[in-house]
Amino acid sequence: MRLTQAQADALVAHARAEFPNECCGLIAGRDGTATRVLPATNAEGTPFMYVMDPREQMQLMDDIETADEDLVAIYHSHTRSAAYPSRTDVELAFFPEPLYVIVSLQQPDQPVIRAFRLTRSAPEGEQVAEETLEVV
Amino acid sequence: MTIVKIPPVLRQAVGGERTVQAAGTTVGEVLGNLCDQHPAVGAQILTPEGDLHKYVNVYVNDEDARLLQWTDTPVGTGDTVLILPAMAGGSR
């Protein structure tokens, strides 16, 4: 998938604004190219878990569909761990089509953003596939 | 018959439909009937034990079913059930 530098900056800014809690949101786009970053509320509001507010999730998904865009990615932050999906991330990855983007603030001055396709129903060891994330 | 609204993530599992009619007098029966009609939906929203996954939200006429009687919530003709898998995860 492709992001502009401004969109990548927006992801990091959201992660920093919610620190030490995890942030979450959606990335809308077309053909794998992001058009909009849509921050959402982490209803769980903890450093170890994100659960997107379901009403907001519904509204944002409707908004993306109405705008004839695709849900390109679901993003969240890891505040103390690497930009790699945790076991919980995989277990709760109900959405096979959008990518899962993780923003890591493990090294606060060097944020890392990576994208993955998560398949919770796949056999152990085949559930996580990293995808190219280009900042253009 | 109850109308079940299908979010984009589950539409492929029901052959692309936005809504599906399902039979039953409770949320649990309606979802069970939906999963019988479209087993691919069951693979996405049920646990291996066949229970509705904890992180799948269900709304009955826009009310959170967990705040009603969850899978025992009565439904019938004219009611709309929406299934919404959560977007969630955690670093632990």
Q: What is the pLDDT of residue A121?
A: 83
Tell me what pLDDT residue B48 has: 84
Cβ distance of B90 and A89 shorter than 8 Å: yes
Structural domains of chain A, count: 1
B90/A50 touch (CB, cutoff 8 Å), yes or no: yes
Q: Above 90 in pLDDT, residue A18?
A: yes
Closest-CA distance, A5 to chain B, in angstroms, reads 25
Q: Considering only alpha carbons, which residue of chain A is nearest residue B90?
A: A49
- Among A24, A81, A85, whose Cβ lies nearest the Cβ of B87? A24
CATH number, residue A119: 3.40.140.10
One-letter identity of residue B12: Q
The amino acid sitting at B73 is T
Phi/psi at A45 (5° precision) = 55, 50
Give CA–CA dist A117/A85, Å, rounded.
Answer: 10
User: What are the tens digits of pLDDT across the range B3-25?
Assistant: 999 998 899 999 999 999 999 99
Contact present, A25 and A39 (Cβ < 8 Å): yes
Is the pLDDT confidence value at B92 over 80?
A: no
Express each pLDDT in A72-127 by its tens digit. 999 999 999 999 999 999 999 999 889 999 999 999 999 999 999 999 888 989 99
Q: Is A12 touching B (CB cutoff 8 A)?
A: no
Instruction: Count the alpha carbons within 13 Å of B60 in the hemisphere toward its beta carbon.
Output: 22
CA distance linking residue A50 with residue A39, whole number of Å: 13
Cβ pair B89:A61 closer than 8 A:
no
Comparing alpha-carbon positions, the chain B residue that sits nearest to A49 is: B90
Residues A114, A102: Cα–Cα separation, whole Å: 6
pLDDT at B1: 92
Closest CA to A34 of A91, A93, A96, A99: A99
Question: Can you tell me the mean pLDDT for A39-57?
Answer: 95
Reported as type and span, the H/E element at residue B9 is helix B8-11
Longest dimension (CA), chain A: 38
pLDDT at A96: 86
Rounded to an integer, what distance in angstroms lies between the CA atom of residue B51 and that of residue A117? Answer: 26
Question: Is a pLDDT exceeding 80 seen at residue B91?
Answer: no
Q: Which residues form the domain of A53?
A: 2-135
Tokens 């646990």 sit on residue: B47
> What is the predicted ipTM?
0.91
User: Residue B78: what residue type?
Assistant: G
Give pLDDT, residue B8.
86
CB–CB of B89 and A94 under 8 A? Answer: no
Give the pLDDT of residue B9: 86
DSSP letters for A1-68: -EE-HHHHHHHHHHHHHHTTSPPEEEEEEETTEEEEEEEE-BSS-BTTEEEB-HHHHHHHHHHHHHTT
Pick from A50, A96, A90, A129: which is nearest to B7 by CA? A96
Q: Which two tokens stand for residue A57?
A: 């999730």
Question: Of the candidates B64, B86, B91, which has its C-beta nearest A51's C-beta?
Answer: B86
Hey, is the C-beta of A42 within 8 angstroms of any chain B C-beta?
Answer: no
Which amino acid would we find at residue A46?
A: T
Among A67-71, A129-133, B7-11, whose mean pLDDT is lowest? B7-11
Closest CB to A54 among B9, B84, B92: B84
> Smallest Cβ distance to B43: which of A52, A61, A121?
A121
B86 touches chain A (CB under 8 A): yes
- Is B84 part of the contact surface with chain A (CB cutoff 8 Å)? yes
- DSSP state, residue A124: T
- Tell the burial category of B64 from Cβ atoms under 10 Å away from its Cβ (0-12, 13-18, 19+): middle
Domains in chain B, ordered, with CATH? Answer: 2-85 (3.10.20.30)
Distance of CA B75 to the CA centre of its chain: 12
Cα of first residue to Cα of last residue in chain A, in angstroms, is 10
